[in-house]
């Protein structure tokens, strides 16, 4: 099974997700937006699967530093170049299991996605 975790390594939520996956022995690839890059195709795939509004991290510093006009005019078309320029604005983590995408991290959700074998 091909599993990829997308994000930036210094993000606390990414650290929690990686720690959880490692503790459960889940093999995955980590895709660091800053080191490995990000493309318009990948962001558009996130938009199509998750909805563009769900991909934007509105709680982060990068989003809060946008001008009021940028926030007011934010839509799928204007969000794309912003996310390519500022990948920290992408909600984290985004998890790919084969062709399915999930956004965010919670131990309950991950336990559902990666159930432990019986008796463990």
- How big, in percent rounded to 5, are the helix, strand and coil portions of the chain? 50, 15, 35
Our answer to whether residue 4 is catalytic in this structure is no
Catalytic residue among 11, 49, 88, 101: 11
Residue 29, both tokens:
């690839």
Question: Angle, to 10 degrees, between the axis of helix 40-50 and the axis of helix 76-85?
Answer: 130
Element holding 101 (H helix, E strand): strand 100-103
Catalytically active residues, by annotation: 11
């Amino acid at each position: 099974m091909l599993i990829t975790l997308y994000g930036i390594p210094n993000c606390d939520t990414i650290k929690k997700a990686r720690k959880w996956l490692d503790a459960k022995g889940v093999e995955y690839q980590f895709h660091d937006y800053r080191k490995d890059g990000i493309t318009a195709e990948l962001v558009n795939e996130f938009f199509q699967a998750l909805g563009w509004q769900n991909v934007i991290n509105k709680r982060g510093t990068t989003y809060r530093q946008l001008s009021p006009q940028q926030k007011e005019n934010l839509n799928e078309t204007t969000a794309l170049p912003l996310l390519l320029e500022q990948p920290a604005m992408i909600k984290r983590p985004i998890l790919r299991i084969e062709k399915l995408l999930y956004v965010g991290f919670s131990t309950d959700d991950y336990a559902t996605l990666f159930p432990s074998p019986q008796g463990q």
